[in-house]
Amino acid sequence: MMGITTQLKSAAALLVVLLLTGCTGTSPRVDFFMLSADAKPVSGVAGSCSSQAISVGPVSWPRYLDQPRIVTRAGTNRLEANEFNRWGGSLEDDFVRITIKNLSGLLQSELVVNYRRSSRYAPAYRVEMDVLRFDGALGGDVVLEVKWNVIAEATGKIELVTTSSIQKGTSGPDYEALVNASSMALAELSEEIATQLASVCTAAPPK
């Protein structure tokens, strides 16, 4: 019954939009967003892996985020996807791209690359990620939960397995604030990964 009620409300809302569009002769504006690189320097990390190539990926991505619409948390068990606030491309690709950019800055290295393009770099280590959750409530908190590991490419040995759970508050009730908080959450994840990578590179540099 609750599902039917929600569908009816959504259909009614869409009908209102269509009617308003027909009356005004203009289409509702669609806003597009992208994540940004916001990682801050971490003491003792910079340069530890600067001479060793690091690949990022593959990333296991939740299906509910595999869409252009921005998904928000509307309740404990309810999600909403907004038609007029969208990602400017693939959120998964953006997630990987910004992670690489953050790690490059944190490690002071130009050798952090996407695993799909890593063959020419002969990476020493690979960072694999399983994204469990990456969403938030408008005016509330963004939650990022990722299980990730570091693998030595030469041996296939798993050097580290851990789960990061990150929560960032939004600065306002709109989608821009939500995306900004999402970028900050990804920056904190990148900082955690960079710290652990630095320890691995220092303890067991490849021959």
pLDDT tens digits, residue range 103-136? 999 999 999 999 999 888 999 999 999 999 999 9
- Sign of the CA dihedral with 150 first, then 50, 122, and 89 last: positive
Task: Enumerate domains of the chain plus CATH numbers.
Answer: 31-203 (3.40.50.10610)
Tokens of 35: 């994540």
Bridge partner list, 29? none
Q: 3-class DSSP state for residue 86? A: strand
pLDDT tens digits, residue range 78-107? 999 999 999 999 999 999 999 999 999 999
In the prediction, which pLDDT does 23 show?
55
**How many Å apart are CA 39 and CA 21, to the nearest integer?**
41
pTM value is: 0.85
Tokens of 121: 């770099």
